[in-house]
Structure 1
Amino acid sequence: MMDNLRAASNHVVLKIILGLIILSFVLTGVGGYLTGGIGGDYAAKVNGQEISRAQLERAFSSERSRQQQMLGDQFSALAGNEGYMQQIRQQALSQLIDELLLDEYAKDLGLAISDEQVKQAIFNQPAFQTNGKFDNAKYMSIINNMGFSADQYAEALRKQLTTQQLIQSVTGTDFMLANETDSLAALVSQQRLVREVTINIDALVAKQTVTPEEINSYYQQNKNNFMSPEQFRVSYIKLDAASMQQPVSESDIQSWYDQHQQSYTQPQRNRYSIIQTKTEAEAQSVLDALKKGGDFATLAKQKSADPISARNGGDMGWLEPDTTPDELKNAGLKEKGQLSSVIKSSVGFIVARLDDIQPEKIKPLAEMHDEIAATVKQEKAVDAYYKLQQKVSDAASNDNESLAGAEQVAGVKAVETGWFGRDSLPAELNFKAVQDAIFDGNLVGENGSPGSNSDIITVDGDRAFVLRISQHKPEALKPLSEVTAQITDMLKVQKAQQEAKAQADKLLAELKAGKGDEALKAAGLSFGAQQTLSRTGQDALSQAAFALPLPSEGKPSFGVSEDAQGNIVVMALDKVQKGTMPDAQKQALVQGITQNNAQLAFAALLSNLRKDAKIKYGAAAQAQ
């Protein structure tokens, strides 16, 4: 729920970290995770507690990243809409306000997470483990990548778990009584026994006649339905970096390796052990014991105030410069086995020992040869691609009457498409930038004549097009002669439907009046065999059957519906009977309803918290 967690949640490795609970850890100070902004430059104040501009910016950035990942190419268009981006910003702020309100409410209820719960959750998390054991170095590296100090992370996750506890307490209270469950199951599993009379539309369609006047009248009144869509034919040249591979020499590979050696270098890594104490006197006592030959691991397990490193005998694992706390960097430890003096840290005092050193290591060229060769080959191809792209662009601009000049420079013939419309763009041109160039009207000549060449249109970074519209047909009304058959068929169907509905209404009235047998015989119709329909049926006839009134005194109830083929159906509901529902299905039904009720309860809780809260918005709430 916390904003830093949202920011990290798009990282593939870090997704599994969400939901962990972490207590205060080694060598880091308490950083005000929810510190307010300066002066009036805040996003909101909730019951006097401030949501800072920085918090809102982090939440907005993470929500923006999430939507970009979810929407892909569509997000680029939406991102240019100021109103849309402001909406994302407001959603992020609303979430922060809800989190703060829930946190306050949880405190009022006295909800809390014990240190033991926190500690056990840490030790049991696979994300922080190596070979099934907690790895402090791995933990430090991960949370540093997330932008947290240990105390900030612990505080954020402690708040998150407390809020989850609140949510569970609210949403876990809904239940249904046994008799309620049985009644609901009986209603859902109910079955209806029906008979049907079908009035076939196709048979009636064949009997209909349509006059020329009716056809012309329909055509005049519905011209918008008979427009021929705008049509295009396009000639294009496609450039693709992947098809422009260049030879790579050993000297090219060596040169690349020499210039990028830092990328193949693992920095020096140090392994430390620490013992943390609450007071300087305790730390000095530990240091004295170590100098007299005391075992570091034993003392760490007995004396260290940090539960994580203590469990591992003080071992913090391998640390690279980026993940090494400043206190250890500045401790002056240079040799294996060297002890530090007493170090003051933000969480107390520590004594540290440098256990081992792994010197800087550079991967040899032989190990990286094939990877570098592929990289250099790709770079050369991209370089050649951009040079050719510029030449083709110049040629297309200089000869704007055709693509002949561009073809000569590119060394390929232009491809010409068949006719297509806005909703049938050829797959090879199905890129938004290409689509925009074709349909925005700038490349269309007058009166259907060819227009001008496009500029170079790049797509996906390593492909490009130059194109021209070779032929164009504007939107136009189809002549009556072209659509007469279509209109004739439509009018016949309309007339058949009207006749069928009139016949059904008449038959329905006769059935309700007790004269159904004579009416059915006169129409040459009869009810089919009785069938059993269930409430779960998705077809129109099943839905219609359960909308009919219950039969009374042994007399069926009647109604009219329509089947999937458009035929008109007269229905007779003879009987309603109880169905059966397996226990597993009944349990799933109850679970679904209670979950829905719980969601409504939680939404009501949030609504009431907002209604009672004093919320003041600051300048940062509207900043872009």
Structure 2
Amino acid sequence: MLQGLRDNLKGTVVASVVVLFFVLPMVITGVGSSWLGSVAGTDAASVEGRTITRQELEREVYLQRQRLLGQQGVDPSADYLKEENLRQPVLDRLTKKEAMLSSNEKGGMAISESTVNALIVAQQDFHTDGKFDAQLYRSLLARIGSSPAMYKQEMAENMVLSQLNAGIESSSFITEMEKSSLVAIINEQRSFFTVDVPADGIADAVSVSDEDVQGYYQDNQSEFLEPEKLSVNYIELSVSKLSQGIKVSAEEVEVQYQLELAAFDATPEFDIAHILINEGDDSASRITEVQEKLNAGEDFAELAKSYSDDAGSKSNGGALGVMLDGVFPEEFQNTVLALETGGISSPVKSDSGVHFIKVLDKRVRAAPSLEDRKSAIEISLKRGKAEEIFTANLELLEELTYDSDNLDSAAAELGLTVQASPLFERVRGTEIATNVQIRNAAFDPEVLVDGHNSRVIELAANRAIVLRVKEHQPERFKALAEVREQINGTLTEKAVEQVLKSKADGFIAAVEGGATAETLAGEFGYTYTFHENASRSAPVSDPQTRQKVFATALADSAVTFETNKNSDGSYRLIGITSSKPGEVSEMESQQLVGLSTQLGRENSRFEGSAYQENVIGSSSIKVH
């Protein structure tokens, strides 16, 4: 087949069609039975006659666990990552999916095989040098326990479900009343004032007694619970540190450099273009005409657009890209190898027709010098030797630390240093204890309770660590003496806040009794600010205050009050005096369109959820 494609060089477009519609469907479809084949007694559930096999369930559980582990800061030993805890949620998801697929199938929804093929071929994950790579495709699927047939089925199912979602979204609509109600809320304007009651000097007048401190300490013990902590001594074996102590000779570098030179590929790379003349009654005259125009110095690309019979390349001036070995006819390839950049060949005959060939660019890679490669070779050689030592010492590290009551002898034997960590908790730590494997090993009963060295903990980047507990601090309640100052500050703050609240309550009562807020604030020396017809996004006051203003339900009274504590300790009174709903007529048309689109999406999301619940609720689902 490859020979045929090569021989039919003139049919670039035809060749592409053959590859797309003949070769790739065979690759994508796969051969043989599905990995998920169901046999008697192997079904995990059935939905409307569609089965979910135990193999499929286990595979999805595995994939879900890998997805969760890929998230940052995940503890691999966490209970929610255990297979028995993942299995039920995954099975629920699979049964719901099967119910939706069954409903879609009954409704006549489907995706054509050619559409699925085209989508898979277009996925960049399966591309090498910009083209679909069948070997890479199969390899990546195999890594997750899948196959081309399985992946194709999954793609088709997901596309059908996406098609359903798109249908619900496109059919969703909003009424004018819904739009008006949303605009009324979003573009609402409120007028409000703020009065800041200062806290200056109040704390100086507050007295906190020993009895108050003692009482708070007794009543709030949970605030003073110090979690269990420990620190560890540890020794670390790593390729990185081993390589720092290794030296390589100039002779070793030279030998490696010569090996690289021997393996260096200096084959030139050619960017080429051609003009193809098919055989026919007028081919001889056309060949002569093209040759004469080339001899006269006319532009090769323009001539290709006018004369070439290769429909796939003529519009690009005959450009064929980089010449790949074995793809072009032998006589064509030999001609290219004899040309330099800018060179144009005489007519070259092949089974495809007659070609005029131009080398657009010839690139010959020069071998790097020893000086250019010296540093990288030294690093590579050092790391190679370090990896050998690491592998040998890893087993020795386990032997030396197993059943030993210290780390010193192993450290001396391996030339390592015993290091110490700061105190850390079960769920968090610094330095080496940021690693969850380290924390888990340190708090393991064999290490923490029995006093043994840990097992060898292999970390990323070729690192291995053995640790033992240095200091252990059990969970405890802090003594009153340790937290007295903290409690005193808390009680003082509460007392100040109570005084401020009392002042604020008095102010509110006076305003509700008929006093003018601005006048009253002036009499008390409070800061008063008024904001008229402010919107939610208006740059007035501060975001926290605006949030309070628009989150408050308005009372029937003339002023609706809210309170807030400022960052400087002062107390803020917020008085909302009026509200004006937003009007559709006041919005720009572009904003209104965007708002309608957003509301439509939200409606379709709720409608889609309701439809899904209805389908699942009416489906026959049996879990075995």
Amino acid at match of 1:37: S
Closer, same or farther: CA 525–595 of 1 in aligned 2, 3 Å:
same
CA contact (8 A) 1:241 1:463 kept: yes
Q: More deviation in 82-91 or 573-582?
A: 573-582
Amino acid at match of 1:437: A
2:612 is matched with 606
* Aligned residues between the structures: 489
Secondary structure of 1:172's match? helix
Q: More deviation in 188-197 or 177-186?
A: 177-186
1:436 is matched with 440
Q: Deviation string for 1:269-306 (max 9, x for gaps)?
A: xxxxxxxxxxxxxxxxxxxxxxxxxxxxxxxxxxxxxx
Amino acid at match of 2:486: Q
Closer, same or farther: CA 247–53 of 1 in aligned 2, 3 Å:
same
CA contact (8 A) 2:61 2:86 kept: no
Secondary structure of 2:205's match? coil
1:235 is matched with 233
Closer, same or farther: CA 539–94 of 1 in aligned 2, 3 Å:
farther
Amino acid at match of 1:482: E
2:411 is matched with 407
Equivalent of 2:189, from 179, 183, 191? 191
Q: Alpha-carbon deviation of 1:409?
A: 1.3
Tell me, in whole angstroms, the C-alpha distance in 2 between the residues paired with 1:149 and 1:480: 65
Write the mapping of 1:159-170 to structure 2, written as runs, cut at 5 A.
Answer: 159-170=157-168
Closer, same or farther: CA 386–232 of 1 in aligned 2, 3 Å:
same
1:226 is matched with 224
Tell me, in whole angstroms, the C-alpha distance in 2 between the residues paired with 1:509 and 1:453: 70
Closer, same or farther: CA 23–33 of 1 in aligned 2, 3 Å:
farther
1:617 is matched with 623
CA contact (8 A) 1:63 1:92 kept: no
Q: Deviation string for 1:67-110 (max 9, x for gaps)?
A: 33346753454576243232354145235424422432431xxx
2:468 is matched with 468
Residue 218 of structure 2 is aligned to residue 215 of structure 1: no
Secondary structure of 2:412's match? helix
CA contact (8 A) 1:557 1:574 kept: yes
Write the mapping of 1:35-184 to structure 2, written as runs, cut at 5 A.
Answer: 37-70=38-71, 74-78=75-79, 81-107=82-108, 111-112=109-110, 138=132, 140-141=134-135, 144-145=138-139, 146=141, 157-178=155-176, 180-184=178-182
1:318 is matched with none
CA RMSD of aligned residues (A): 5.1
Q: Alpha-carbon deviation of 1:374?
A: 8.0
Residue 599 of structure 2 is aligned to residue 593 of structure 1: yes
Write the mapping of 1:207-356 to structure 2, written as runs, cut at 5 A.
Answer: 207-245=205-243
1:336 is matched with none
Tell me, in whole angstroms, the C-alpha distance in 2 between the residues paired with 1:42 and 1:609: 22
Amino acid at match of 1:558: F
Secondary structure of 1:546's match? helix
Closer, same or farther: CA 483–372 of 1 in aligned 2, 3 Å:
closer
Tell me, in whole angstroms, the C-alpha distance in 1 between the residues paired with 2:93 and 2:205: 63
Tell me, in whole angstroms, the C-alpha distance in 2 between the residues paired with 1:152 and 1:445: 49
Amino acid at match of 1:173: S
Closer, same or farther: CA 48–54 of 1 in aligned 2, 3 Å:
same
Residue 380 of structure 2 is aligned to residue 382 of structure 1: no
Write the mapping of 1:443-522 to structure 2, written as runs, cut at 5 A.
Answer: 443=447, 453-460=453-460, 462-515=462-515, 520=520
Secondary structure of 2:529's match? coil
Equivalent of 1:576, from 571, 575, 579? 579
2:420 is matched with 416
Tell me, in whole angstroms, the C-alpha distance in 2 between the residues paired with 1:584 and 1:235: 65
Q: Alpha-carbon deviation of 1:183?
A: 4.3
TM-score norm. by structure 1 comes to: 0.63
Tell me, in whole angstroms, the C-alpha distance in 2 between the residues paired with 1:389 and 1:213: 60
CA contact (8 A) 1:456 1:466 kept: yes
CA contact (8 A) 1:195 1:529 kept: yes
Q: Deviation string for 1:5-56 (max 9, x for gaps)?
A: xxxxxxxxxxxxxxx9999945979978799723343233322233344444
Q: Alpha-carbon deviation of 1:399?
A: 5.7
Tell me, in whole angstroms, the C-alpha distance in 2 between the residues paired with 1:253 and 1:76: 48
Secondary structure of 2:410's match? helix
Q: Deviation string for 1:546-571 (max 9, x for gaps)?
A: 24455879x43334344445543222
Q: Alpha-carbon deviation of 1:472?
A: 3.8
CA contact (8 A) 2:57 2:91 kept: no
Tell me, in whole angstroms, the C-alpha distance in 1 between the residues paired with 2:500 and 2:195: 12
Amino acid at match of 1:603: S
Tell me, in whole angstroms, the C-alpha distance in 2 between the residues paired with 1:65 and 1:526: 59
CA contact (8 A) 1:23 1:155 kept: no
Amino acid at match of 1:617: V
Identity of aligned residues (%): 25
Q: Structure 1: any 5+ residue segments left out of the alignment? A: 1-19, 259-263, 265-310, 313-354, 356-365, 619-624
Q: Alpha-carbon deviation of 1:528?
A: 1.0
Secondary structure of 1:244's match? helix
Closer, same or farther: CA 383–164 of 1 in aligned 2, 3 Å:
same
Q: Deviation string for 1:385-408 (max 9, x for gaps)?
A: 2433444444445762x4432332
Q: Alpha-carbon deviation of 1:598?
A: 0.9
Q: Alpha-carbon deviation of 1:530?
A: 0.7
Tell me, in whole angstroms, the C-alpha distance in 2 between the residues paired with 1:199 and 1:223: 33
Closer, same or farther: CA 378–522 of 1 in aligned 2, 3 Å:
closer
Tell me, in whole angstroms, the C-alpha distance in 2 between the residues paired with 1:613 and 1:89: 18
Tell me, in whole angstroms, the C-alpha distance in 1 between the residues paired with 2:51 and 2:82: 29
Q: Deviation string for 1:460-483 (max 9, x for gaps)?
A: 272122333334444444443333
CA contact (8 A) 2:116 2:155 kept: no
Closer, same or farther: CA 88–597 of 1 in aligned 2, 3 Å:
same
Closer, same or farther: CA 497–557 of 1 in aligned 2, 3 Å:
same
CA contact (8 A) 1:238 1:465 kept: yes
Tell me, in whole angstroms, the C-alpha distance in 2 between the residues paired with 1:613 and 1:417: 57
Q: Deviation string for 1:535-592 (max 9, x for gaps)?
A: 3588442233224455879x43334344445543222223324566555444443333
Tell me, in whole angstroms, the C-alpha distance in 2 between the residues paired with 1:106 and 1:556: 58
CA contact (8 A) 1:253 1:372 kept: no
CA contact (8 A) 2:421 2:432 kept: no
Closer, same or farther: CA 559–66 of 1 in aligned 2, 3 Å:
closer
Secondary structure of 1:529's match? strand
Tell me, in whole angstroms, the C-alpha distance in 1 between the residues paired with 2:618 and 2:84: 29
TM-score norm. by structure 2 comes to: 0.63
Amino acid at match of 1:39: A
Closer, same or farther: CA 474–598 of 1 in aligned 2, 3 Å:
same
Q: Alpha-carbon deviation of 1:233?
A: 4.3
Secondary structure of 2:38's match? coil
Q: Structure 2: any 5+ residue segments left out of the alignment? A: 1-19, 260-264, 266-310, 313-351, 353-366
Closer, same or farther: CA 236–164 of 1 in aligned 2, 3 Å:
closer
Tell me, in whole angstroms, the C-alpha distance in 2 between the residues paired with 1:539 and 1:88: 40
CA contact (8 A) 2:403 2:452 kept: no
Secondary structure of 1:175's match? coil
Secondary structure of 1:176's match? coil
Tell me, in whole angstroms, the C-alpha distance in 2 between the residues paired with 1:237 and 1:29: 51
Tell me, in whole angstroms, the C-alpha distance in 2 between the residues paired with 1:46 and 1:419: 53
Tell me, in whole angstroms, the C-alpha distance in 1 between the residues paired with 2:71 and 2:107: 32
Amino acid at match of 1:569: R
CA contact (8 A) 2:96 2:616 kept: no
Secondary structure of 2:171's match? coil
